[in-house]
Amino acid sequence: MELDLEGATLRAVLNRLRRAQGQITGVIRMIEEGRDCEDVVTQLAAASRALDRAGFAIIATGLQQCVADIESGRKSGEDAEAMRARLEKLFLSLA
């Protein structure tokens, strides 16, 4: 399954991933500094949410592309069902 991310969707996904990257760097620094456990876990949870949101945005784009392919006739019923199963598996991997 090839995913075509462009424009606002691409920028949104990249921003979420960069945010998560910064938060993970912050978590590492907090652990190295011996910071409070609650603060570390709070920051780690924020990074996890940012990664989840990026993943869901990518899956949503895949769903849109799949529906567009089906409606345009580029995917047959069998291909569409296989794609649906693959997208469902990806979605559940983030749940």
Please write the tens of the pLDDT for every residue from 6-64. Answer: 677 778 888 889 999 999 999 999 999 999 999 999 999 999 998 988 888 888 877 77
| Identity at 24, one-letter amino acid code | I
Residues 6+ apart with CB under 8 A from 48: 20
Percent helix, strand, coil in the chain (nearest 5)?
A: 85, 0, 15
pLDDT category of residue 72 using cuts at 50, 70 and 90: confident
- In angstroms, the CA 17 to CA 50 distance is 7
pTM recorded for the entire structure: 0.69
